[in-house]
Amino acid sequence: MAATRLIALHINKGKTVAQCLRDRTDYAQNPEKTAKGELVTGYQCDPMTVDEEFLLSKRQYQHITGKHQKHEVIAYQIRQSFKPGEITPEEANQVGYELAERFTKGKHAFIVATHTDRAHIHNHIIFNSTTLDCAHKFKDFYYSGLAIQRLSDLICLEHGLSIIEKVPYSQRRKRTIYEKRTTYRDQIRQDIDTILKKPPTDFDAFLRKLEEMGYEVKRGKYTSIKGKAQQRFVRLNSLGEGYAEEDIRAVIAGEKKHRAGIKSPFTKDNRAFNLLVIIDDKIRAKGSGYQQWATNYNLKQMAKTRIFLKEHNINSMDELREKASTTSADFDRIDKELKSAEQRLVEIAALKKHIINYAKTRDVYVQYRKAGYSKAFFEAHREEITLHKAAKDAFQKMGVSKLPKVKELSEEYASVLEQKKSLYAQYRLSREEMREYRKALHNTEVFFDMDRNSEKDARTQSEVDQKNQPAK
């Protein structure tokens, strides 16, 4: 588990760029915090002279580009903190190095200093704002902090570490944890459970036992009871399933078995099969059974799938299959609508063409008919008469009884064309979404199939070993 933060480092008031770079890098490489400097690594720079190298690259940038900013960012710092006891300092430094290299795409020099002076191991990653070729600067894009956290999660999964789960606000714990308080209703249920362990002879005897325990009973349409410290009566029907009057009568009559009112572990929050936790456990297991899977399907691929499931809040295989099915159905629907729009555009274009040809050749065809369909007239006007007949045949095939106006067809064509453009944008998004869910479903199913096959092979091998054991 790693928490990350991106910090832009500016020039402090009253100090030079060189002084600010030296202060930041010296703090990061503090020998007392980094095991006497053993937990400091650098990329395309020497940690001992990193501040001077950063400063030199900035001077070269100004010389090459001629640009100079008054309030420029001189460097960026990534803080990466790990869960206590989950990672060694050496591995933390390796994870930080990989994070910096992949985030900057190898275009910026950086140092990674791993601090061990606190309960949680954490990295101070400082990378130069100027690129290695001294021609560009790092652009702090929108949501760059979120991109770093996502990349950090991906790398942590690849290294078998846990990641921070996003908890809904309603489920977050407050800083102050209070002891669990037993309510009046809890106490009433416990006392009823005690009585029903040895059910009395009838319901009246049950109420007498409650009175012996200090409860005041009120009979009526709904039986209610009240304890000594209670201010109001509580109906039995309001105590939950198994505590209503008809339930208690059924237990006393032997028609039903009483079950103590224990809060179900399948609450609203954890009712779904927690797919993400299972995947995390299996990825971190790194047992021999996963060697074949890791070879064929690549641990990085499953780590990406794990991030995808987290971002889309998918907690069970049923949810994943449903989303894959839904996205496929949406894609098929949009695909049909797009093809229908394209077909309609072809029909409109063809209809416009035939209407125009029909109008242009109508007079010639009328003369041809008046001439008694003369062969000589046909040969003299073969092209016009052929176009006219083709138009009439097309109208018949299309089922057009009354010819629409060309202007109306042009307006419809423009409308359908706009619809096609909109559908095509939806088509591309839907296709990408469908592919992502299908890919996630495939990777997850392969992941668990491999696990089941591994267990099956282990059982088969165990049976073979037992058969091959010599008889005693």
DSSP-based three-state secondary structure for 255: coil
For residue 329, give the amino acid letter.
A
Share of the chain above pLDDT 90, in %: 28
CA gap 75, 108 in Å, rounded = 10
**Range of lowest pLDDT (9-23, 83-97, 266-280):** 266-280
pLDDT of residue 459: 54
Could you give the strand order of the β-sheet that contains 224-226, starting from the edge strand earlier in sequence? 216-218, 224-226, 234-235
Architecture field, domain 2-164:
2-Layer Sandwich (3.30)
Q: Is the pLDDT confidence value at 441 over 80? A: yes
How many residues are given for the chain? Answer: 472
Q: Is the pLDDT confidence value at 264 over 60? A: no
Task: Please state the separation of Cα 337 from the chain's center in Å.
Answer: 28
Mean pLDDT comparison of 107-116, 175-184, 442-451, highest-scoring range: 107-116
Q: Is the pLDDT confidence value at 469 over 60? A: no
pLDDT of residue 455: 53
Contact 256, 250 (CB under 8 A): yes
pLDDT of residue 261: 61
If phi > 0 it is left, if psi is from -120 to 50 it is alpha, else beta; for residue 298 that is left
pLDDT of residue 72: 83
Q: Is the pLDDT confidence value at 289 over 50? A: no
pLDDT of residue 51: 92
Q: For residue 173, what pLDDT band results from cuts at 50, 70 and 90?
A: low
pLDDT of residue 240: 82
Q: Is the pLDDT confidence value at 388 over 70? A: yes
If phi > 0 it is left, if psi is from -120 to 50 it is alpha, else beta; for residue 368 that is alpha
CA gap 116, 31 in Å, rounded = 10
For residue 370, give the amino acid letter.
K
Q: Is the pLDDT confidence value at 299 over 70? A: no
pLDDT of residue 298: 60
331-384, pLDDT tens digit by residue?
A: 999 999 999 999 989 888 888 898 998 899 989 999 988 888 888 998 898 999
Average pLDDT in the chain: 83
- Closest by alpha carbon to 83, among 186, 171, 156? 156
CA gap 199, 429 in Å, rounded = 64
Q: Is 382 exposed, middle or buried (0-12, 13-18, 19+ CB in 10 A)?
A: exposed
pLDDT of residue 288: 44
214-240, pLDDT tens digit by residue?
A: 899 888 888 899 987 788 888 888 888
Q: For residue 272, what pLDDT band results from cuts at 50, 70 and 90?
A: very low
CA gap 147, 4 in Å, rounded = 10
- Closest by alpha carbon to 21, among 139, 94, 102, 130? 130
**115 C-beta neighbours (distance < 10 Å), count:** 23
Task: Please state the separation of Cα 91 from the chain's center in Å.
Answer: 27
Domain boundaries, the chain: 2-164, 184-252, 319-454
Q: Within 13 Å of residue 37, how many CA atoms lie on the same side as its CB?
A: 6
pLDDT of residue 82: 92
pLDDT of residue 265: 37
Q: For residue 95, what pLDDT band results from cuts at 50, 70 and 90?
A: very high
Contacts of 455 (CB under 8 A, 6+ apart): 289
Q: What is the mean pLDDT of residues 96-115?
A: 94
CA gap 136, 105 in Å, rounded = 14
Share of the chain above pLDDT 70, in %: 83
Q: Any bridge partners for residue 76, and if so which?
A: 8, 127
Q: For residue 269, what pLDDT band results from cuts at 50, 70 and 90?
A: very low
pLDDT of residue 180: 65
pLDDT of residue 270: 41
Q: Any bridge partners for residue 78, and if so which?
A: 6, 125
Largest Cα–Cα separation, the chain: 122
Q: Is 96 exposed, middle or buried (0-12, 13-18, 19+ CB in 10 A)?
A: buried
pLDDT of residue 267: 40
